[in-house]
Every structure is written in C-alpha cells, then in structure tokens.
Amino acid sequence: MIGNNLLPEIFGQRSIWNFALTKFRYYQSCRFDPTLTEHNEILTRLQNDGIVIQEGFFSKSQVQSILDEIEQAKQSPDRVEVERSYTDSGIYRIYNVLDLAPNTGLIADSPIVNSVFKAYFSSDVKRTKFFYEEKSEIGAESVSNLHHFDDWKHRVKAFLYLTDVTKENAPLLYVKGSNKQGIWRLWKEYEYFQFRNKTGNMSKLIDYTGSFLPHEVEILKRRHPFEEILCTGKAGTVILMDARGLHSSTVLEKGERRLLVGYWT
C-alpha cells in the first residue's frame, strides 16, 4: 500500500538521495576542456545555448553523395530498420547506415564534431548511436513532440539535414539555454533515474520520462526567460545539440525530412 514503507524511499537504490549522490559523482568525472578542440566559437555557443546550427557545413555534392549511398542502403538485404523493437510513428530508420553508406562517416567521424563534444564534457566521449532517419508521414504525432529532455547525464547529438528543412518540414524545436542546471528540471531528472541504469533503459516507459505536458511548459515559460527556436536549415546544415536542454520534434506538415542522427555520451 502506498505510504506505508518509507525506508526504500529514503535509503533505497532509487531514492532521491542516491540520485543526488550519483549525479554529484557523475559531474565530478566530467571536465569542460576547451584545449581539446580548435573550434572554440562552436564550443562556446554549445555551452551557452545548448544548440548550434551550422548552415553549409557540408556542400550540396557531399550531401548528394550520401543520399546516393542511402538509396543503395535501402535495397540492401543487410539493412537494420528496427532496433530493440523500437519504432516511432511515421518514422523510418536505418541503424547500420555507417556500414552500408560509408560517406555518412563525414558527419559520424567529423573531427570538428568529435573534438567539440570531447571538449564539452569528457575526453572519453563516445559515439553510441548513429542512424539515418526519414519522416514522411504528414501529421503523425509522436511522444517526442512533447517538450522533453533526453537524460540527466550528458548526451550530445549531431544532426545532418539531408533535405531542406523549413518550418513545415518538422524542424527540431529547442529552448535556448535550457541545457543549464536548474531546480525546475530536478524532478524530471529524478524520473530518469527511476528508469535507466548503466546497462540502458529499464522500461518502455523511458519514452515518457523527462516529458513536460503543455501546462507544465506554460508554467516554465512564465517563470523563465526561455527562447524557443525552430532549427530550420538547408540540406548540408549540421546541428549540435546538448540533449539535456528542453526540446521536441514537431509535426511534419509538408514534404519529408531526411537526416543523419548521431548520439555521443
């Protein structure tokens, strides 16, 4: 019965105190070190805003070379389209795109991206996921359309837009500066602690954790000077994002959105 046994809540593995201690230890192991990159202007913007949009990071011909390889990859019998039973409505993915379309290494192994992320929080930073994603179902809803952050730990992402992304093509939405520590986020961070451990996600419910319902977003907006931006950009645009910041995907109104996505932790 709820309320009868306080001991696990106070002393248990998943107690708020254990979370506080785990978080403290984790951040002690992280180090912001600008000497690890030559791209300090990008690093500073990532630190201040949590988001960096670099138009023209790759040329039209580089993007085309990737798109050509991806068309081939879509026919390959070796393609992996579903990972750990994860599918999201209206979204198509190829998880082993780096093996099937080696030109995607332009972003996955970009020295600029990798060095900025190392400098941002750890020289041990690793790319943990990399996939191709296509959104083509007009009007499809998704849990990630709710404002959310991805984790209480550092998780940084790079997106390479392979098609032009206008306001109508489901641009990423990001709340500038929300990557910083703050009391407003603690309870949602603690939610993550309930569902995730070292070996990964403990539950399908992880999709909902860290999400803010519309009224909660409204309350945050009233209390904090948040500026929301829509990350639009032409094909070849690279976006670097600190996924601890508040963000959401948006509904596709027109056309399609094709991109490469990488996670680093």
Ligand X SMILES: O=C(O)CCC(=O)C(=O)O
List interacting residues with ligand X (CB under 6 A): 144, 150, 157, 172, 243, 247, 249
Q: Which residues contact 7 (CB under 8 A, 6 or more apart)?
A: none
Residue closer to Fe ion by CB (options 26, 208) is: 208
Query: Which stretch in 11-19, 144-152, 161-169, 211-219 sits in contact with Fe ion by CB under 5 A?
Result: 144-152
To ligand X, the closest distance from the beta carbon of 138 in angstroms equals 15
To Fe ion, the closest distance from the beta carbon of 227 in angstroms equals 18
- CA torsion angle 47 49 53 57 (round to 10): -10
Does 150 sit near Fe ion (CB under 5 A)?
yes
Does 242 sit near Fe ion (CB under 5 A)?
no
Phi (first) and psi of residue 210, to 5 degrees: 80, 5
**Angle 183-188-192 (CA atoms, 0-180°, nearest 5)?**
130
Residue closer to ligand X by CB (options 36, 117) is: 117
Does 191 sit near Fe ion (CB under 5 A)?
no
Residue closer to ligand X by CB (options 110, 211) is: 211
To Fe ion, the closest distance from the beta carbon of 111 in angstroms equals 25
Phi (first) and psi of residue 262, to 5 degrees: -125, 145
Q: Would you report the helix, strand and coil content of the chain in percent, each value rounded to 5?
A: 35, 25, 40
To ligand X, the closest distance from the beta carbon of 19 in angstroms equals 22
Beta strand spans in the chain (E):
51-54, 91-94, 127-135, 147-148, 156-161, 172-176, 196-197, 200-201, 211-212, 227-231, 238-242, 247-248, 257-264
Residue closer to ligand X by CB (options 39, 247) is: 247
Query: Which stretch in 109-117, 150-158, 182-190, 215-223 sits in contact with Fe ion by CB under 5 A?
Result: 150-158
Angle between helices 40-49 and 111-121 (to 10 degrees): 50
Tell me whether residue 84 is exposed, middle or buried, using C-beta atoms within 10 angstroms of its C-beta: 0 to 12, 13 to 18, 19 or more: exposed
Q: Which does 249 bind (CB under 5 to 8 A by kind): Fe ion, ligand X, none?
A: ligand X
Q: What gap in Å lies between CA 50 and CA 170, rounded to an integer? A: 20
Residue closer to ligand X by CB (options 39, 258) is: 258
Query: Which stretch in 89-97, 117-125, 146-154, 193-201 sits in contact with Fe ion by CB under 5 A?
Result: 146-154
Residue closer to Fe ion by CB (options 67, 230) is: 230
Residue closer to ligand X by CB (options 36, 170) is: 170
- Build a one-symbol-per-residue string for 193-222: x at contacts with Fe ion by CB under 5 A, - elsewhere: ------------------------------
Q: Given the rule CB under 5 A, which residues bind Fe ion?
A: 150
